[in-house]
Amino acid sequence: MIKERNLITINKTDQSKISSVDFNNIPFGRVFSDHMVSIKYTEGQWQSAQILPYQEVKISPACSALHYGQSIFEGMKANLDEQTGDVLLFRPQKNAQRLNASAIRLGMPALPVDLFLDSLYQLVKLDRQWVPTVKDAALYIRPLMFATDPYIGVRASENYRYINFTCPVGAYYSKPVKVLVGDKFVRAIPGGTGDVKAAGNYAGTMHPAILAKKTGYDQVLWTDGYEFKYAQEIGTMNVFFIVDGKALTPELDGAILPGVTRESVIQLLKDKGVSVEERKVSIEELIDAQEKGLLQDAFGTGTAATVTHISDIGYKGKNYQLPPIEARTISNEIKVQLDGIKRGLLPDTYNWIVRL
Ligand code: COI
């Protein structure tokens, strides 16, 4: 059993919105559960945590996060074990650690891991009716931290707010995605912030994504920022390729987000006997494999996206169509296995699940 150690004040809503939600038809990220966690950082320390009715946040127009981008976030999911009624969280300690890696990189205060976890557990337990049970749906959990100083001088803020809210979600991608290899704009380079979850990382990807959409692609497959030669990630997901039975995924070079799903998929692949190479993966190598009929699969991994197939890769004005989804044995099996562990349908042999 999980023990909560931090004293958390709970102020419950008296107007639950749950009856207005159609759980069979949930869009991603637009429906929010009844409560949220709020913790303020003032005078050099984290204050006590509160669980409040989900509500708007009041900030000054001079709020430093708005101007200089000290803002970070995480993404997690909870599922219901329908046999036991337990709510299952997937590796939340990893998210606590990564939030703090992001905080440190952006000059923000780390949040004690037990405070992150205890407030998360209480929040999810309180809103457990919001965990959807329909296929491909889950309770998405969005912790975030941002600077709150009303000050427009450029320096690390002295005050911060941590919030964690949840939303029942359906699939992030409802079909396989078409990706366009990025060869002009840079998402991240080693030494930047691409390996942490800084809000600003995503801002720089919006314009290239709009351009990619105009040419019929769903997402940009980012490449290294120097030569535009090596695959990096998709922005919403890490990326894997299956070439001649081997799994290739870009190595964590300091510009790529160390995804929790990425790490878990690598483990599952290895334990299935698939050889996994974490290394530089050049686009030319992939195109060459495709032309020889050896590029058997490509897929993205992420909390929101889970395992999402890539149907097409656009590169230098040409479109390369990948094998049909039914033929993608490895990724199809990994998706079922991961989903089964997350929903308590398969044994948690890796100890990844926290039951509430
Ligand atoms: C996640 O997968 O949880 C993410 O944070 C990616 C995204 C929706 C930005």
pLDDT along the chain (356 residues), means of 10: 77 96 92 98 96 97 98 98 96 98 98 97 97 93 98 98 97 95 97 98 97 97 97 96 98 98 98 98 98 98 97 98 97 97 97 98
Instruction: Say how far apart CA 303 and CA 138 lie, in whole Å.
Output: 10
Q: How many domains does the chain have?
A: 2
For residue 180, the CA-to-ligand 1 centroid distance in Å is 19
Strand pairing category for 71-73 and 138-147: antiparallel
Element (H, E) at 211: helix 206-214
In angstroms, the Cα distances linking 176 to 152, 155, 286, 300, 322 are 43, 43, 18, 10, 11
Cβ–ligand 1 distance for 303 under 6 Å, the answer yes
User: Is residue 19 in a domain?
Assistant: yes
The pLDDT value given to residue 235? 83
Tell me how far apart the alpha carbons of residues 3 and 210 are, in angstroms, rounded to a whole number.
Answer: 46
The CA-based angle 50-54-58, given to 5 degrees, is 80
The CB of 75 under 6 Å from ligand 1? The reply is: yes
Cβ atoms 168, 30 nearer than 8 A: no
* 100 shares its domain with 219: no
348 domain residue, yes or no: no
132 and 15 fall within a common domain? yes
Residue 1 pLDDT: 54
Ligand 1 centroid to 288 CA: how many Å?
A: 31
**Does residue 349 form part of some domain?**
no
DSSP state, 130? G
Q: In terms of DSSP bridges, do strands 138-147 and 76-80 run parallel, antiparallel, or are they unpaired?
A: antiparallel
How confident is the model at residue 135, as a pLDDT?
85
Same domain for 83 and 103, yes or no, is yes
Q: Is the C-beta atom of 236 inside 6 A of ligand 1? A: yes
| Residue-level pLDDT at 354 | 98
Residue 216: domain span: 177-342
Distance from residue 236's CA to the centre of ligand 1 (Å) = 5
What predicted TM-score, i.e. pTM, was given to this entire model? Answer: 0.96
Query: Last residue of some domain: 171, 188, 222?
Result: 171
> From the alpha carbon of 197, which atom of ligand 1 is closest?
5
CA of 77, closest atom in ligand 1: 3
Together in a domain, 195 and 64: no
Query: How many Å apart are CA 350 and CA 77, to the nearest integer?
Result: 17
- Amino acid identity of residue 48, one-letter, is S
